Amino acid sequence: MPQPLRRDDPRQAGPYPLTGLLGEGGQGAVYLGHDASGAPVAVKILHARLARDEESRRRFLREVDAARRVGPFSTARVLAVDIEGDRPYIVSEFVDGESLQQLITRDGPRDEGGLRRLALATAAALRAIHQAGIVHRDFKPSNVLLGPDGPRVIDFGIARALESTTLASSGVVGTPTYMSPEQVAGQRVGPASDVFSWGIAMAFAATGTPAFGQDSIPAVLNRILNHEPDLTGLPGDMRDLVASCLAKDPDDRPSADDLLHTILGHAPPAGAAPAPTPGPAPTPTPVRPRPVARPLSAATTADPGSAVGPPAAPRHRPFLLAVLAQIAAGVLTYASAEWADYGREVTAEQGRNAYGVTDGPLTWAGAGFWAGVIAWICLGTAAAVVLRVISFRRARRDGRRTA
C-alpha cells in the first residue's frame, strides 16, 4: 500500500502528479502517480545525477528504450522516461501488490505449489527480458511484485542504464546477497548472471533464507565465490533445478528458456535456438566461460567456519611443480650416489676408480657425464615448457585469462 508523501518528497514529476510513496531503494524512490487519464502509474525518481554530456544521455535513453521493448510476460512495462533537469525519472506500469520480499518476510516460505507458480512466472519474465537483448543485473525478491494477475518483474534494464551514464558509480551493480560470481568479481555479465540470481531468489521463496546466507556482506560474497549453496528445504525437483542455476561457471547454468521447459515438465526441443544474447552497447555482452573468481582478500574473507559448503579446489601450477621436481631429482641422485660410494672401486695398478677418474667429490663423473647432465637439463626444461603451454591453454579455455 502507498505511504503518505513525506515533507521533502516531490509532488509532481513532469506531467505526473504524485500521491504516495511506494518504496525506496539504491536507485531511487518510487512514487504512485497518475497519467493524463487518471490511471495509476509507478514513477521512479532516480537518486543519481546523469552525466551532462549528450552522449551519456543518449546512451541512457537507448538502454531504457531497449527495456521498453520487453514483451509483457510477467513484467511491469516501462512507459516513459525523462532525463531533463536534476531529477530524472522513469514511468512504468503500476502493479497493485506487495513484493515477494515483503510477503516471505511476513508470511514465511511458499508451499510447493506456490513456489512452482512463482518459478514459472518469473522464469517467463526472464525469458522475455533476455529475448529483448537485456540483462536485468539486479533480480531479487524486492524486484518481484505480486499483482492480482500474478508475479511481475520490475526494474529490468535500469541498472545497466545507470551504470553506464551516472556521474558516480560504486563500480559493481547489484544487491550483494543475490549477485552472481561474475558480478562479484567485477567481470562482464550476461543472461546467465540473472539465472544465478533467480536461483537464489527461489531458494529464498522456498526457505525464507537466501542460498548463500544473509549475514555480513564479506561472508556472503565469500560463499558465492567459493562454496556450495545451502538448498535445505527445497522440494526435490526444484532443488535440482536451483542447484543447476547456482553453478559457478556461467556456461554450466541453464538458460531462462531451459528453466521454463524444466518447470513445465518436459525437455527443451532438440535444436531449439537459445535466447538472443546481448551485443555491443547499448546492451551488455554476455560473459565468456570463466572459472570461479579468485577468493576475497584476507581483509574481506569470512571466517571459514561460517561457510555453507566445502571450499573450491585450489589451482595448481604445473610449471613450478616441474621445476621443483627437476631440482629435487638432481639433488636426490647426487646424494644417493655419494651415500653409496658409487664409482669408488679403485684398482691397485692404476690408483683410479673404475671409471678412470681420480678420486674426488664426483668420482663417478666420467667423460660422458657432463654431456648427459646437459641432455638431462634440456629434456627437463623442454618438459617444463610443454607443461607450461598446456597450463596456459587450459587457463584460456577456462576463461582464466581475459582478452
Q: Is the pLDDT of residue 118 over 90?
A: yes
Q: What is the DSSP annotation of 213-263? A: -SS-HHHHHHHHHHS----TTS-HHHHHHHHHHT-SSGGGSPPHHHHHHHH
249 catalytic per annotation: no
Reduced to 3 states, what is the DSSP secondary structure of residue 33? strand
Same domain, 113 and 247: yes
Same domain, 327 and 288: no
Mean pLDDT over the full length of the chain? 75
CA distance 365 to 362: 5
- Of 9, 138, 249, 252, the active-site residue reads 138
Supply the pLDDT for residue 280: 43
pTM for the predicted model, two decimal places: 0.61
**49 within domain boundaries:** no
Domain boundary among 306, 337, 362: 306
Same domain, 331 and 301: no
pLDDT (tens digit per residue) in 136-185: 888 999 999 998 888 999 877 565 554 544 444 444 456 899 999 999 99
| 1-23 average pLDDT score | 90
Domain boundary among 285, 306, 327: 306
Percent of the chain with pLDDT over 70: 62
Same domain, 322 and 301: no
Range of the domain at 387: 318-398
Is residue 203 a contact partner of residue 231, using CB atoms and an 8 Å limit? yes
Beta bridge partners of 78: 92
Other Cβ atoms within 10 Å of 11 Cβ, number? 9
| 24-46 average pLDDT score | 87
